[in-house]
Amino acid sequence: MLKDIKETPHALKTVLNTYFQEDKTIKNIQIPVDSEKIEKIYIPASGSSRNAANIARYFIEQAANIPVIVDYAGEFAQRSVSVKQNDVVIPVSQSGETADVMAALRKAKEMGMSSFSITNNENSAMHKLADTGMLICAGHEESIPATKTFTCQLMSLYILGVYLAEKKKTISLKEAEVIKEKLFEIPDKISANINEFTEKIFETSNKIKDYSDLIIVGRGQNFGLADETALKIQETSYINAFGYPTGEFMHGHLAILEEKSPIISIVTETFDNSRSNALAIENIQDIKDRRNPFIILIGHNRIEWADIFIQINEQDRIITLFLTVVLLQLLAYKTATLLERDTINPRSLKKTVLNE
């Protein structure tokens, strides 16, 4: 798993070089409908792929002004979705063979929807069945828990978001140029921070490893990241970890939180609105006041009442997101190794779920 994480910068550079020309014009993407007329995007996916979509939807919706509906693939396949001619379905799967995602894609095609797949496997059934698609270019991933492939999926979705925004002219040329420059900075920023992150998370891993339960919260794109972190910790450490939207946790879920139990709060900058970060901090302060948990805060500015503070020095919300992804993957890895878990082949798991 650690090997896969360390290979992420190289894989991200491969993605960027695959979809950008030297002048940073986007290439090798063909949406099967007129991009300017897309009304809605449906993304059916499972596991880490769904979490990647839930993170990227905030960027796509803001940049391209297109509603993005992310669904569990197995549930999408059972729904009677009301679609219009210019809606598009974007199934996301690392293997391109996941049974639930394939069922969702077949359902979409039965409804007459145009389809654009995102996968790591050009020979997969999903890539062949979809009208068009893009490959995430992650290469072989050794461990069952997705790390390198997850981050490459996220990068691919961001590239797609920029592409759609340019086609729909919902951002200026200057805005698009700035976003692209940020995307190209990410691989080297990750490489430069991996060792620092490894040192930062040691205290946190030691704190959470002895608990059977763990709550992770975030607002906006950080909620999708909280969900993904919870999944990684479940897969690797077998801790009963769950991700929640920070505000939603106050609506009943707070009752499950024991005093002094650990809660990880991600309060880095997001894409939804300028108040999101402040609201997240207000929410976690309220949680602290009511239940007095052990607060692990990940953000830009130290909060005095946080028991552990992990600082993300980078302020840009795109770069920050990718750095935080890798930091939390390393947290899951370190916690699992302290518990002497198998991070390559965790119990009961397979790389591809083939049974519906």
Residues 87, 43 contacting (CB under 8 angstroms): no
Q: Are residues 73 and 98 in the same domain?
A: yes
* Neighbouring C-alpha atoms within 13 Å toward the C-beta of 255: 3
The answer to whether position 18 is within a domain reads yes
Residues 229, 268 contacting (CB under 8 angstroms): no
> Quick one: which of 197, 236, 203 has its CA closest to 8?
197
Q: What is the pLDDT of residue 82?
A: 82
The whole-angstrom separation of Cα 104 and Cα 72 is: 9
Q: Are residues 176 and 255 in the same domain?
A: no
> Quick one: which of 339, 130, 69, 90 has its CA closest to 214?
339
If 0-12 CB within 10 Å is exposed, 13-18 middle and 19+ buried, where does residue 62 land? middle
The answer to whether position 80 is within a domain reads yes
Q: Are residues 320 and 193 in the same domain?
A: yes
Q: Are residues 237 and 175 in the same domain?
A: no
* Residues 6 or more apart whose Cβ sits within 8 Å of residue 257: 215, 263, 287, 291, 293
- Is 324's pLDDT higher than 50? yes
More confident residue, 197 or 332: 332
Whole-model pTM above 0.75?
yes
The answer to whether position 177 is within a domain reads yes
Average pLDDT estimate for 159-188: 97
β-partners of residue 42 are 69, 89
Residues 131, 116 contacting (CB under 8 angstroms): yes
**Is the sign of the CA dihedral 299, 199, 2, 308 positive or negative?**
negative
Q: What is the pLDDT of residue 351?
A: 77
CATH number (domain holding residue 303): 3.40.50.10490
Least confident window among 122-126, 128-132, 184-188, 283-287: 283-287
300-314 tens-digit pLDDT: 888 888 889 998 988
- Is 274's pLDDT higher than 70? no
The answer to whether position 355 is within a domain reads no
Q: Are residues 123 and 145 in the same domain?
A: yes
The answer to whether position 84 is within a domain reads yes
Residues 30, 114 contacting (CB under 8 angstroms): no
Average pLDDT estimate for 320-327: 96
Q: Residue 241 — φ and ψ, nearest 5°?
A: -95, 140
The whole-angstrom separation of Cα 305 and Cα 310 is: 13
- Confidence band for 284, pLDDT divided at 50, 70 and 90: confident
- Is 348's pLDDT higher than 50? yes
- Confidence band for 356, pLDDT divided at 50, 70 and 90: very low
Q: Is 356 helix (H, G, I), strand (E, B) or coil?
A: coil
Question: What are the angstrom distances between the C-alpha of 245 and each of 187, 258, 326?
Answer: 28, 18, 20
* Neighbouring C-alpha atoms within 13 Å toward the C-beta of 12: 29
- Confidence band for 276, pLDDT divided at 50, 70 and 90: low
Rounded to the nearest integer, the mean pLDDT of the chain is: 91
**Domain assignment of residue 123, given as a range:** 2-186
More confident residue, 284 or 165: 165
Total tally of structural domains belonging to the chain? 2
Q: What is the pLDDT of residue 246?
A: 84
83-140 tens-digit pLDDT: 888 999 999 999 999 999 999 999 999 999 999 999 999 999 999 999 999 999 999 9
Q: Are residues 172 and 279 in the same domain?
A: no
Q: Are residues 132 and 195 in the same domain?
A: no
2-45 tens-digit pLDDT: 999 999 999 999 999 999 999 999 999 999 999 999 999 999 99
The answer to whether position 228 is within a domain reads yes
Question: What are the angstrom distances between the C-alpha of 305 and each of 281, 283, 331?
Answer: 11, 13, 22
Residues 132, 30 contacting (CB under 8 angstroms): yes
- Is 352's pLDDT higher than 90? no
- Is 243's pLDDT higher than 90? yes
- Is 185's pLDDT higher than 60? yes
The answer to whether position 350 is within a domain reads no
Q: Are residues 55 and 136 in the same domain?
A: yes
Q: What is the pLDDT of residue 289?
A: 80
Over pLDDT 90: what percentage of the chain?
Answer: 73
